[in-house]
Structure 1
């Protein structure tokens, strides 16, 4: 039981963590206390206690959630806190969370979701029973707590791929939760009806209703449960009731503040989308009243921003309806389509006063919402998606109707330039029906053949790009048109547009210059064709203007007067990155200027990292400059600029930046010549980067491994000089104990063996082998077996770097730990895993390593002759396979196109964010061998002619089939 003094000390630390002057020390003290038994339950009770200040309790709830995320389990599901604490937290957290409200309840709910992700249902079998037992017929606040916990657990199912394990988990919930769920839904409906005129009662009741509807979606997101199919009539009757429901008490006076009713109806529209998409055979006959109600809702809802999400979700439902060929026929006449466009599409596609205000007052948010492919719920995007889906069904009719409106709005604008909103609507309408299919990050792949996109651009878009009197929003529309239809324009047309776009980087309008940067970046990303993956624009195209582009872009970024404003606009830094990637080594003459700008931005944003995307592309830009300029500059040019700021980041423990710094430090070492002086600033880092606390953050592990390997390659002597052999082997031990990180452990071990003199490693060799054998025995995985095979081949193949390595060393490594074990490892793991080594370098290492084991190892041939035929058969079959023709000719010399912008979401957290501009060098211990097949063939030929005595006896014991294969192989020499 925690004492009052312990609770007060914990409270003081949490309070100190809120003060920037004491936050770092407080955070370190909290981290130190985490390992103490009872810490987690004490923290949880502090959050629930009203004896402490509100901000302290909130800080505690955030810390508790993050503590659970970091410390509940490791990658293998093993608890990282004492078992007694695990049980205590499970026993108390649901009740405590339900007793709280607001942000405290939300944070604990997220913690429960993290715990459930690991433990539910197998290791937390009582959770659902506990929740159901707390539901009340009339205690709304308790019910809301229960429902929040339930939704935090069940919503995890939404994005997951279906599997037997997932369906069993859902069934476990359904069996216990369905009946209470339906009862609560009906009870809540009754209470809402009884309290229709009491606002204070309606607000929490509608919170219940919203959570019930979210859970309705959760429970149906993977498959249609039998319970919901059997009870679809009463349940869907309630859903329809609240889609129609009106009550002035639930409306807000603020045009921007979404009310309970709008939120509820938005959730209903999401549920209707799910049922229409997935369960049309069951739900189809019930659709008409939902469609009619949604139509009426869309035609009667005002333009105020508070309705935006509702309108978007409602349009999303109608879009799903229109995807069905049969159901879409309701829209299939010219008269109906005109109504659709006039009453639904145009009101939601036209620019509103609130949009213009956002353009002026919050331009970065306007850009993010407006950008094709963003996940923001906007009316324009939803109306566009609906119109495009109708066009897919009725292309000719929709195109004809829409173009009549386009011409009308263009005429209105051409006769009166002050009517610029009319042209804005015309451009949006045209773009909506001109696109065929979906718009991806690569742009539009096909267009409506009934429309002349290039002609429309020439007549109506291009003039706005060069007319200085054009309204800023129309200028953005023009830039966005190029962005959307860039694949339909020729390289010549894009080249002509490029200077105009570049000039807009000095525009005073935030959205104009941001869209110009976005479009320049995307133009430079265009591929030549589906068959030719090289870029349309190369360094010769961009080199003449790259310096000015970068100067303008950095000028825009550096307008920011705070760390948050500097990092606000990730599109500008993305454009910087793309310009450098395209210009390549042509940036070398002014590369120091680029790095100086980047260093200033890094230093300032490190004070308060706020935008993960900006951070990622900022460091990608550094990586790109190093990659292309460092080989063309004097040694150390960038070290003197970058290393001080990198050391500062590490010294100040800026966790959001650290994994990027580790990757770039490794790149600095990798790019320098082998005999170059080892940077003085990096030497003091070697011991600290092996501290266990750094390796606990999963995102650090790949970056730190790469950095250690780079240090080993450049300055292996430092490990002996500073007594760091044991610490680095401790890192290896920690890594191979983890299923998630064991491959990093083996990469590090191979580099240790390759670079550190054998004499320094000899006292530890037996323990290294024992660790590997223990892991093979305790928790063997296919990945682990492949890595062990790779290690054996790596050690066996190594010829020149370390004379004490080689096939006899590989044999004795394991046999010294357990006599006779190598034969079993070779037979059971190494040989069977050989076909699973896929990369060119790995296959080369395997072939040479196996060849040396069979034909050069006296220890193997003397002790494990019975294993020789199996190994020889694998060697022959590997080298004679038709599917491997050309695979041993060495890696391709042409550099692959780097594209750091992928679909994955970049965020601050524990996951690894790999810099695409940083290449991890593959350690090739036999780089001097350019043709592995010839090496093996020459060795077999010598042995066949009696020139290799070590394996003569074993060669005579092979089957005729293997003997024939070896003869064929020898014939290739």
Structure 2
């Protein structure tokens, strides 16, 4: 056993190339930078890869997770080895603890041992290891807490210490990591039961711990280490107060609310000379006050009936804090949290009245707003030294808390309540700073920022900027009188230039086409600035202007307007992106790539007239560089959207020779297993195949069949949708090869696997429909009964509406393929009845007929019409065995024909919007490329006017069958149905 552990420890050490901690192996987020896959030392790369492969084999052995925990707990092991074991354990648990259905993938005994040992081990470990094990506990809690781990809360309570803050803080870290999951959730009975379980066990000890921490802080006021430790305890308790109260205020909190508020008030006012230094980072005291402000904000917003009596006191308390903190970075988070609490106070009308006086508002602007919107030296330093970080923090909608953002939100909330008075007060300061700004650009920056804050009303969206403005200001006049000159001048301070660009960016929806006509050219010219922030903000503004649409949904700046300078614009943007050829620097600036993407989307096939070949060369070059070190998910998302746009609109051009050109870099991505890019590659491959008019598989693509049939790629959840789509695209073109090489069964095995999953059954149907569309019925005969058995079995287990919809669509697809494809309704019935006699009748009556009536997409309704029509005309079973069913089918057909489905032909003219990147969980799941989005598939494009086709088909079938169809109409339909069908038979 010892030798096995030593071997495992050695492997962990061998994988510890500091930058080789990749997600799913030893690493953290895929968003973190990686070492290039082909570094300067191939021998090291090979040894690390060998160790990782060996570790992967070790992970398949019994009790692997427990072996890792043993290494973590062994003090004799080097700390880096223990940390590597903790990382490996966390990632192993993430991938191997439960399946999609929540069932354990590990033996129950191993699960129980993990849960028994993990909390104690986490608490006793060094901080770096605590972090990893704490995340592992959260992963386990996501699936098991509380009903499958109902001892956890009591275990945590039992481990709380009244004297050892290290132990107590470890316990509270675990508790908070579990309870914090409740914050974003909607209320449900299941969630309420979980919270009640926790409060019943943890509530009273929590109250007691507040008092103990308070006593310990007092007792250790002169002991720096202990004081910091117990302040950390109080911070964790403040976070847990928020956790426990985020859904509803628990009785134990409600009962003790008064002493809790006394304690919170005490620590909002608490000072200690130990923390009077010049630290750059927040001390435990600022962190505690920030956490208290979070809790105060929650109680003000959510529990005004209980907490309202304390709001005035805490408002004064927080005001004093804001008045006492300086501009130093250590106070940034506290200042933001304090302002967010005041914003919450201003959101409750009866509390907001305390601000409704000109003198008070003037004091707020002077003492709170101005100090927090004015540029600081640290802002200027960031502008110069970390420009990309400056931009990300500065943009509206950024997730990063900033003083400016928090002060602006507070001011806008006051404006919402007291628009006239606030506008009047603030404009006094705006005019003062504009006057000073004639000689001091920093003063003008403050004036512009104040104007931006009071001019905007409501949400400032990433898509459209300010949609509603303060009726007491004129944004166009203010721009022309105070800002336009800065946009045009070549001698403006860079930050002032950025202010001018940001002004246009913010109010882009307020300018009409004529006003933009005079502004767009100066914006584009600023892309030539030598200043990083200026040219980046210019790219941001240009991209958002190109995104704007009019009331009819058409681009405000269509292709014809952008065509004259599109080539130069693209070349300049690519030059900025490729200015630094290192992988990390090249993909640093996602805003430039986003602008490239937008130009390509707006230009569509017009790119062919302005250097499409050069664009493709640039995109391929960038792909080759960034695949060595994918480090910025936003950049490479926009990058692949740009490639998708070029493919979508220009792939038909023989001059570009796009398919073989893209094959080389994409094949390298697959062979080098650049996991971040694989889902994007298969989406673009799928689009290339779908747009390729040939009925044959392009030569290089044939080797991908083996790739997609291998189990490895399917183990990554984000690969499933693009791989499924690729299979659906390649099967129709490779049907002969698949049949000749006997590869149909492996494809059906993939269908079976995907059908079993809750989140992948839609992908399963995509593959199955491709198979049914590519092969005639006689080829599928040996398999179709098994396929139906799988589908029917899942129908018995509370199927979702989307599942029933896909089953109904599948039936109609088979039914509509009567004739040369050797399928049809009778084909389906024969195989269904072979499984179980008389199973088709309830299936048809309870699934097919009602679900078809709910079809919303025109392509599905069209398929239903074709299927029903062919059933009425071609099915022997419906003609003889299911005579009532014939009438039901005809009635359902007539219902669909009341609003004949019209399927739009073609694709490519509609506006393409990229996904909202901030809503995308990079590295977590599948990220769709909207430029590669597949339109709804029309299986019968040759049928255009469906209602006319129905009449023609019915009449031809009636003649072909010697008047049988007309006879059935007379015998099996009601008078109303006969009358409705008569025009089609006339």
Which of 444, 456, 480 aligns to 1:458? It is 480
Which of 508, 524, 539 aligns to 1:502? It is 524
Which of 896, 920, 943 aligns to 1:929? It is 943
Which residues in structure 2 correspond to 1:99-498 (within 5 Å)? 99-254=124-279, 256-414=280-438, 416=439, 419-441=440-462, 442-498=464-520
1:94-147, CA deviations, whole angstroms, 9 ceiling, x for partnerless residues?
Answer: 222122131211121112112211121222222212222222222222211111
SS class of match (1:715): helix
CA distance in 2, matches of 1:689, 1:144: 48
Q: Counterpart of 2:795?
A: 776
SS class of match (2:932): coil
**Contact 1:507 1:513 survives alignment (8 Å):** yes
Q: Counterpart of 1:840?
A: 858
1:695 and 2:736 matched: no
C-alpha displacement of 1:70: 2.1
**Contact 2:648 2:908 survives alignment (8 Å):** no
**Contact 1:841 1:891 survives alignment (8 Å):** no
Which of 489, 492, 515 aligns to 2:537? It is 515
C-alpha displacement of 1:700: 0.7
CA distance in 2, matches of 1:452, 1:953: 75
C-alpha displacement of 1:828: 2.7
Q: Counterpart of 1:618?
A: 639
**Contact 1:662 1:707 survives alignment (8 Å):** yes
With normalisation by structure 1, the TM-score equals 0.95
1:915 and 2:929 matched: yes
CA distance in 1, matches of 2:338, 2:602: 43
1:528-586, CA deviations, whole angstroms, 9 ceiling, x for partnerless residues?
Answer: 13xx2222111011111111111111111112342111111111111110111111111
SS class of match (2:636): helix
C-alpha displacement of 1:395: 1.6
Which of 549, 552, 564 aligns to 1:527? It is 549
1:944-966, CA deviations, whole angstroms, 9 ceiling, x for partnerless residues?
Answer: 89956667886566463xx5224
Distance 1:230 1:553, change over 3 A: same
CA distance in 1, matches of 2:449, 2:62: 61
Q: Select between 14-23 and 431-440 the one with higher mean Cα deviation.
A: 14-23
CA distance in 2, matches of 1:70, 1:220: 32
1:804-862, CA deviations, whole angstroms, 9 ceiling, x for partnerless residues?
Answer: 12222222232333343323322232222212322110111122212322432113433
Q: Counterpart of 2:32?
A: none
CA distance in 2, matches of 1:205, 1:344: 31
Distance 1:934 1:66, change over 3 A: farther
CA distance in 1, matches of 2:636, 2:90: 24
Which of 15, 18, 26 aligns to 2:16? It is 18
Which of 687, 695, 709 aligns to 1:667? It is 687
Distance 1:906 1:612, change over 3 A: farther
Which residues in structure 2 correspond to 1:634-653 (within 5 Å)? 634=655, 637-653=657-673
Which residues in structure 2 correspond to 1:781-800 (within 5 Å)? 781-799=800-818
Which of 91, 106, 110 aligns to 2:116? It is 91
CA distance in 2, matches of 1:44, 1:809: 57
1:644-685, CA deviations, whole angstroms, 9 ceiling, x for partnerless residues?
Answer: 11010110111111100010111111111134x633222111
**Contact 2:311 2:345 survives alignment (8 Å):** no
Distance 1:251 1:754, change over 3 A: farther
With normalisation by structure 2, the TM-score equals 0.93
1:387-430, CA deviations, whole angstroms, 9 ceiling, x for partnerless residues?
Answer: 1111222222221221121111111122x2xx111111111111
SS class of match (2:549): coil
C-alpha displacement of 1:745: 0.7
1:655 and 2:667 matched: no
SS class of match (2:864): helix
1:573-611, CA deviations, whole angstroms, 9 ceiling, x for partnerless residues?
Answer: 111101111111111141121121111111211111111
Distance 1:968 1:757, change over 3 A: closer
C-alpha displacement of 1:789: 1.4
Distance 1:123 1:860, change over 3 A: farther
Q: Counterpart of 1:537?
A: 557
CA distance in 1, matches of 2:471, 2:260: 45
1:596-633, CA deviations, whole angstroms, 9 ceiling, x for partnerless residues?
Answer: 11111112111111111111111000001111111234
C-alpha displacement of 1:641: 2.0
CA distance in 1, matches of 2:657, 2:851: 45
CA distance in 1, matches of 2:338, 2:125: 34
**Contact 1:158 1:221 survives alignment (8 Å):** yes
CA distance in 1, matches of 2:680, 2:957: 51
CA distance in 2, matches of 1:29, 1:869: 65
Structure 1 unmatched ranges of 5 or more: none
Q: Counterpart of 1:724?
A: 743
SS class of match (1:681): helix
CA distance in 2, matches of 1:582, 1:843: 32
- Number of residue pairs matched? 956
Distance 1:903 1:322, change over 3 A: farther
CA distance in 1, matches of 2:468, 2:712: 52
CA distance in 2, matches of 1:843, 1:715: 29
**Contact 1:798 1:925 survives alignment (8 Å):** no
CA distance in 2, matches of 1:952, 1:23: 76
Q: Select between 822-831 and 299-308 the one with higher mean Cα deviation.
A: 822-831
C-alpha displacement of 1:794: 0.7
Q: Counterpart of 1:811?
A: 829
Q: Counterpart of 2:569?
A: 549
CA RMSD of aligned residues (A): 2.2
Q: Counterpart of 2:3?
A: 5
SS class of match (1:436): strand
Distance 1:697 1:950, change over 3 A: farther
Distance 1:642 1:893, change over 3 A: closer
SS class of match (1:335): helix
Structure 2 unmatched ranges of 5 or more: 21-44
**Contact 2:559 2:602 survives alignment (8 Å):** yes
CA distance in 2, matches of 1:504, 1:519: 10
Q: Select between 11-20 and 911-920 the one with higher mean Cα deviation.
A: 11-20
**Contact 1:203 1:250 survives alignment (8 Å):** no
Which of 771, 779, 790 aligns to 1:752? It is 771
Which residues in structure 2 correspond to 1:886-905 (within 5 Å)? 886-888=900-902, 890=904, 895-902=909-916, 904-905=918-919
SS class of match (1:971): helix
Q: Counterpart of 2:603?
A: 583
Distance 1:689 1:405, change over 3 A: same
**Contact 1:797 1:926 survives alignment (8 Å):** no
CA distance in 2, matches of 1:275, 1:507: 48
**Contact 2:849 2:889 survives alignment (8 Å):** yes
Q: Counterpart of 1:706?
A: 725
